[in-house]
A and B are shown apart, each in its own frame.
Chain A
């Protein structure tokens, strides 16, 4: 494998990381919002959220990506492949991670909220000061798990013409007739990316401690 081929793979890894990261950055807060709407039993919106989650969860990322890419011009917005890819990743991960957030919210001790209410905290204040600092700690393992799934599902975005790691490896293999080396490198790059996320999780768990422990 040539140095140029290796650079192409690294660039592909950059694209994988960038698109995944954008999806996570947008999708995680959206997922939290969805979970809050359902947990707070906001009328009407909670039903919309529930339908959204089941629809998105049952649509493969590839299909969703194609759907957004080809459907957008017909409603007058011609978004490029990158935007389509980021949007598909965001929608996909928001539906999955909203369930992680919701799991944490559902199991949150009611008596702590009752104390917050009786001490005059508003729902927003109670969420910010009491719920969230504990929630994110308990949701983190599930969220990171979902992030790693997203990264590994990201080859799907190649269908709209984005050259991420796997597509780069396919191309190199097709020109050199030696597919094994580029796929080995691609595999190592995925492992490195996922490992990076897991390391971030470990560091933050160690820094902030578990909820209720002697942080």
Chain B
């Protein structure tokens, strides 16, 4: 009998992006982007506005189908089946998406549902998991983001920072293999950024696999395993944060750091 407990020689990264291209009309937003996120890694995607960061994130879960290139989730091709020729149908795409958790800049909570209902909606109705089990897990998650007492509140009654922590808990409730963060603190008042960053740091330390688009250089420096600088739809530099922030390799990275960090 073959020993199935043996891990494969080289486990594929949770996310691998190869030669991703995306245009809107004549505007080339992503121009051959390749990068990866290993299991348990936190990778921060940095870059000036319009560099294609958010589009890259939205291509990963096929909210924007890319024009060219491949996206592999734990070695499995996203968006296509049967060896990459036939596009996935709606149901296959939905199933693939449910393996990825997404946290949005503007939270995108469902306002007619309570905090707890926001968390359990997709696990129950998309993943078809047991209601009691999902509720138990959701309550633990709310406790972890410090909102156990808000479970019956509606989103309209929460602060921005609380909404985003619900957003994170909602993504975690899907038990995702990969977490995508699309500028999670950009819509927050400055004094509320800290509480969200604190939660994200804990997740990073606990070994969640995260791809984070952010302008929070402090988070990138302290919590990222790797930093990817994107400019004009291309990867300019991939480096460990300690190296990136102290001795960047490229001129473009130096310029970026001067404007966004030392400003």
A interface residues (Cβ-Cβ under 8 A, vs B):
111-112, 114-123, 125, 129-130, 133-134, 211-215
Contact = CB atoms under 8 A, between A and B. Distances in A.
**Interface of chain A, main secondary structure:** helix
B95 to A, nearest CB: 7
Contacts of B122: 119-121
A121 B125 contact: yes
B76 interface: no
Nearest to A110: B108
Interface in B76-127: 90-91, 94-98, 100, 102, 104, 106, 108-112, 121-122, 125-127
Interface of B: 61, 63, 90-91, 94-98, 100, 102, 104, 106, 108-112, 121-122, 125-127, 154-157, 170, 174
A121 B100 CA distance: 13
B174 A214 contact: no
Contacts of A114: 63, 104, 108
A122 B94 contact: yes
A122 B109 contact: no
Contacts of B109: 115
Nearest to A119: B122
Contacts of A122: 90-91, 94
A116 B112 CA distance: 13
Given A119-B174, A130-B110, A212 B155 contact: yes
Contacts of A120: 94-98, 122, 126-127, 174
A213 B114 CA distance: 10
A129 B108 contact: no
B110 A115 contact: yes
Nearest to B109: A115
The 10 closest A-B pairs by CB, nearest first: A120-B98, A212-B111, A115-B108, A119-B122, A111-B108, A120-B126, A120-B94, A118-B102, A120-B97, A134-B112
Among the interface residues A112, A118, A212, A215, which one has the most CB atoms of the partner chain B within 10 A?
Answer: A118
A118 B110 contact: no
Contact of A115 (B94, B96, B104, B127): B104
A194 B190 CA distance: 52
18 contacts: A115-B108, A119-B122, A119-B126, A120-B95, A121-B94, A121-B122, A122-B90, A122-B91, A125-B125, A125-B126, A130-B112, A134-B112, A212-B112, A212-B156, A213-B154, A214-B154, A214-B157, A215-B154
A118 B100 contact: yes
A134 B111 contact: yes
Nearest to A124: B90
B126 A112 contact: no
Nearest to B98: A120
A119 B154 CA distance: 20
A32 B155 CA distance: 28
Contacts of A125: 125-126
A125 to B, nearest CB: 6
Nearest to B100: A118
B111 A211 contact: yes
A120 B61 CA distance: 10
A213 B100 contact: no
B94 to A, nearest CB: 4
A126 to B, nearest CB: 10
B234 to A, nearest CB: 25
Contacts of A123: 90
B204 to A, nearest CB: 21
Contacts of B106: 111
Contacts of A115: 102, 104, 108-110
A134 B154 CA distance: 14
A215 B117 CA distance: 13
Contacts of A211: 111-112
B141 to A, nearest CB: 15
B101 to A, nearest CB: 8
A111 B102 CA distance: 12
B197 to A, nearest CB: 21
Given A116-B110, A118-B63, A119-B121, 9 more contacts: A114-B63, A115-B109, A117-B63, A117-B97, A119-B98, A121-B94, A211-B111, A213-B154, A215-B112
Q: Give the interface centre of B95, B154, B155 by most chain A CB atoms within 10 Å.
A: B154
Contacts of A121: 94, 122, 125-126
